[in-house]
């Protein structure tokens, strides 16, 4: 009997110890889980606060359309403590440029997302494109940056060139964390930063030619009432307000054929299994005083294309542009005559349309802890002017806001490298997309 009681007591003791052990394990697991949860919550909160408070200094070299748009992207990112825009040109030279730009629907939507109000910018709408002058566009963006100075430290330094001496004068504590190079195809900023100037040159599978004419018989002012479409509203610009401000919508013509029999080119001798008369695409754009023309066709080996590519007679292309302009110009501008023809400059023959883009379009300067991205014509250059060149530059800026955010909130160099890698991939994608379909949207459609 005593043995049974002892065994029963032992069982109760073991059972009690197991319950205490299970309780201890449960309490330990619960405490560990609670500690992990507290750690995760605190870490996420601290990371969130750090990311929310993260701010960097940004330097933008170049105040052209792409550079100033990049400045606006930087401001809208919410991660910029100090923004400096640098340009060696003075304000007068910057804002008096007569060239016209045409913003396509994608660029318009991108700029609308940045807060650009096209109803308050002088220009005109046509086929969902917005046409204005470069100087007008730049002046508008500068006015927006001026308004943002109340919230962000913004400095626009015009008449200041980006050089090694300029970099040496920057105090160590004030060095920019991000540099955006947007000083055009002839800029020297990349060489100052030690970035390679090697380009990848690729064919756009098209042939083209350009022409330009300054019509001295035309004033810069538009001396008639011109309807200006602003979204869904129609307004009229009077001669006094239209002077030197309002551009003209572009003109497109498709499936053009040329009779070059006078130059010894007989298209009827083309083989039956080939295209007898390849279709050309024409665009006329610019102001009435500064007229520009672009002629292009998809790449082919037809007899006419070969003739226009290899002819030594420079008068042939001039005559083609001359006749094309008179056939498709607006009704309110005079025909091009023999006198104005002398002021026209054009390509001597058809050339292959090529897109060049930098091998290195983003870099990291390790010693100075600076991330660099190259935008606009400083990164991509097209040897064929379509009148919509600024859109190619704006495409690259679509990923700039994310790049600034990731760089500002980076924990270490690996995070910066990931941001740079993503920017490089996007830049390559922009170049490849334009190479394949860019001319289709700007010329062929």
**Residue 202 CB contacts under 8 Å (≥ 6 apart), including other chains:** 354, 355, 356, 357, 431, 435
Q: Tell which residue, 344, 349, 404, has the closest CA to residue 59.
A: 404
Provide the number of structural domains found in the chain. Answer: 2
> Does residue 145 form part of some domain?
yes
Based on the fold, state whether residues 375 and 337 are members of the same structural domain.
no
Q: Tell which residue, 204, 137, 226, 112, has the closest CA to residue 442.
A: 204
> Does residue 75 form part of some domain?
yes
Q: Please report how the helices 134-148 and 65-77 are oriented relative to each other, as an axis angle in degrees rounded to 10.
A: 30
> Does residue 331 form part of some domain?
yes
Based on the fold, state whether residues 246 and 317 are members of the same structural domain.
yes
Which two three-digit tokens encode residue 16? Answer: 């009690």
Beta bridge partners of 237: 226
d(CA 348, CA 209): 8
Q: Which region holds residue 158: left if phi is over 0, alpha if psi is between -120 and 50, else beta?
A: beta
Q: Are strands 351-358 and 344-346 parallel, antiparallel or unpaired?
A: unpaired
Global pTM value: 0.82
User: What single string gives the DSSP state of each residue in 287-330?
Assistant: -SSEEEEEEEEE----HHHHHHHH---HHHHHHHHHHHHHHHS-
> Does residue 83 form part of some domain?
yes
Q: What is the CATH number of the domain that holds 115?
A: 3.50.50.60
Among residues 353, 374, 396, the one where a domain terminates is 353
Report helix, strand or coil for 431.
Answer: helix
Q: Tell which residue, 137, 148, 143, has the closest CA to residue 66.
A: 137
Based on the fold, state whether residues 216 and 349 are members of the same structural domain.
yes
> Is residue 293 within 8 Å of 440, Cβ to Cβ?
no
Among residues 353, 377, 394, the one where a domain terminates is 353
Whole-number pLDDT of residue 34: 76
Based on the fold, state whether residues 247 and 297 are members of the same structural domain.
yes
> Does residue 419 form part of some domain?
yes
d(CA 363, CA 173): 21
d(CA 113, CA 197): 33
| pLDDT lower than 70: segments of the chain | 1-15, 38-54, 217-247, 267-278, 339
Based on the fold, state whether residues 135 and 189 are members of the same structural domain.
yes
> Does residue 261 form part of some domain?
yes
Based on the fold, state whether residues 65 and 155 are members of the same structural domain.
yes
Based on the fold, state whether residues 296 and 154 are members of the same structural domain.
no
Q: Which domain holds residue 266?
A: 202-353
Report helix, strand or coil for 426.
Answer: helix
Sign of the torsion formed by the C-alpha atoms of 46, 49, 53 and 55 = positive
Based on the fold, state whether residues 268 and 341 are members of the same structural domain.
yes
Based on the fold, state whether residues 400 and 437 are members of the same structural domain.
yes
Please report how many Cα atoms fall inside a 13 Å half-sphere around the Cα of residue 171, on the Cβ side: 2
Based on the fold, state whether residues 435 and 370 are members of the same structural domain.
yes
d(CA 333, CA 326): 10
Among residues 303, 335, 353, the one where a domain terminates is 353
Which two three-digit tokens encode residue 341? Answer: 């023809």
Based on the fold, state whether residues 288 and 167 are members of the same structural domain.
no
> Does residue 10 form part of some domain?
no
Q: Are strands 100-103 and 129-133 parallel, antiparallel or unpaired?
A: antiparallel
> Is residue 290 within 8 Å of 98, Cβ to Cβ?
yes
d(CA 32, CA 132): 65
Based on the fold, state whether residues 298 and 397 are members of the same structural domain.
no
> Does residue 27 form part of some domain?
no
């Amino acid at each position: 009997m005593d043995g049974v009681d002892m065994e029963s007591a032992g069982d109760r003791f073991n059972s009690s110890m197991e319950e205490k052990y299970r309780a201890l394990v449960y309490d330990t697991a619960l405490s560990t889980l609670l500690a992990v949860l507290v750690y995760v919550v605190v870490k996420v909160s601290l990371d969130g606060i750090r990311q929310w408070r993260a701010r960097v200094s940004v330097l933008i070299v170049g105040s052209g359309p792409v550079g100033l748009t990049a400045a606006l992207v930087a401001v809208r990112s919410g991660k910029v403590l100090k923004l400096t825009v640098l340009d060696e040109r003075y304000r007068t030279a910057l804002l008096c440029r007569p060239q016209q730009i045409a913003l396509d629907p994608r660029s318009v939507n991108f700029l609308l997302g940045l807060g650009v109000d096209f109803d308050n910018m002088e220009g005109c709408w046509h086929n969902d494109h917005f046409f204005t002058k470069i100087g007008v566009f730049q002046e508008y963006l500068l006015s927006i940056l001026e308004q943002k100075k109340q919230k962000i430290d913004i400095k626009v330094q015009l008449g200041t060139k980006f050089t090694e001496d300029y970099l040496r004068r920057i105090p160590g504590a004030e060095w920019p964390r991000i540099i955006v190079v947007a000083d055009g195809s002839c800029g020297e900023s990349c060489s100052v930063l030690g970035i390679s100037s090697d380009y990848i040159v690729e064919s756009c599978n098209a042939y083209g030619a350009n022409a330009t004419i300054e019509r001295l018989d035309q004033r810069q002012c538009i001396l008639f009432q011109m309807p200006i479409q602003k979204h869904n509203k129609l307004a009229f610009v009077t001669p006094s307000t239209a002077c030197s401000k309002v551009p003209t919508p572009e003109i497109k013509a498709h499936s053009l054929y040329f009779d070059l029999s006078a130059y010894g080119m007989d298209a009827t001798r083309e083989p039956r299994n080939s295209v007898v008369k390849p279709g050309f695409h024409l665009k006329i754009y610019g102001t009435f005083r500064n007229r520009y023309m672009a002629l292009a066709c998809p790449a082919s080996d037809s007899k006419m294309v070969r003739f226009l590519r290899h002819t030594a007679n420079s008068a042939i292309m001039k005559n083609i542009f001359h006749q094309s302009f008179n056939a498709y110009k607006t009704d309110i501008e005079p025909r091009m005559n023999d006198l104005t023809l002398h002021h026209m400059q054009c390509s001597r023959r058809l050339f292959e349309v090529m897109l060049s883009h930098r091998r290195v379009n983003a870099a990291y300067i390790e010693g100075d802890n600076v991330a660099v991205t190259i935008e606009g014509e400083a990164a991509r250059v097209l040897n064929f002017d379509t009148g919509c060149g600024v859109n190619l530059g704006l495409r690259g800026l679509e990923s700039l806001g994310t790049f600034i955010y990731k760089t500002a909130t980076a924990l270490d160099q690996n995070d910066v490298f990931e941001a740079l890698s993503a920017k490089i991939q996007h830049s390559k994608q922009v170049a490849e997309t334009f190479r394949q379909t860019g001319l289709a949207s700007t010329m062929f459609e």
